[in-house]
Amino acid sequence: MAAQTRQEEAHLLALRMKTRAEAAQIRVSEAANTGDAFRYTIDLVKHRGGSTIAAPSLPAPAEAHFRKLCGSEGLTLLTGNLRSHMNRIHTAFTVADWGISETGTIVLDSSSEDVRIATTLCEIHVAALRRSRIRPDAYSLEEDLDRLMKRPPRFLAFISGASRTADIERVLTIGVHGPLEVHLLIMDDEDDA
């Protein structure tokens, strides 16, 4: 009974996350696992005419799998030293640390310079988020963030949609200080990659 209640709660949190993220113009889809998230990203890049994906900070087995998939589709996977590839990054792929369902916010540990470069200079950012990592609100992250911040230096990104800015005449412009689009893939917790 308790397991079913946790599953129901996780489902409701994911549904609320989706609704709130979409309200912030994040494009939300589901992925069964990391492999599906990789395929989604590859299809998106090909559809948009891109040729590169920056995916810093992936575990070695996942990186090898993603590199193989990209290579078979004629795409280049960039994983490190992104400073030397800044003008080549079409799409960034990251695995989010948490999601905040109350606001539809993606929380990403961006302590790595490569993560900051990839997610700021790309045209499209695809963030994969495990369903079990979705929290109801920011207060629910307090202990996790406190533990993380005890190991400085730390940079945390709270992402609530694509980059937006407006000038003094209130003309809205998308993508000036970051990606034009943010895609969120809510994944099940089982994995294959």
Kindly list the domain boundaries of the chain, sorted by start residue. Answer: 2-187
Chain segment 135-152, per-residue pLDDT in tens? 999 999 999 999 988 887
Length of the chain: 193
Token look-up 């979705």 returns 134
Cα separation, 1 vs 15, in Å, equals 21
pLDDT at residue 1 in the model: 47
Q: What is the DSSP letter of 94?
A: E
Topology of 2-187 in CATH?
A: Rossmann fold (3.40.50)
Chain segment 34-51, per-residue pLDDT in tens? 999 999 999 999 999 999
Q: Which residues pair with 105 in a beta bridge?
A: 100
Percent of the chain with pLDDT over 90: 77
Tens of pLDDT, residue by residue, the chain (193 residues): 466 688 888 899 999 999 999 999 999 999 999 999 999 999 999 999 999 999 999 999 999 999 999 999 999 999 999 999 999 999 999 999 999 999 999 999 999 999 999 999 999 999 999 999 999 999 999 999 999 888 878 899 999 987 666 566 666 565 556 688 999 999 987 665 5
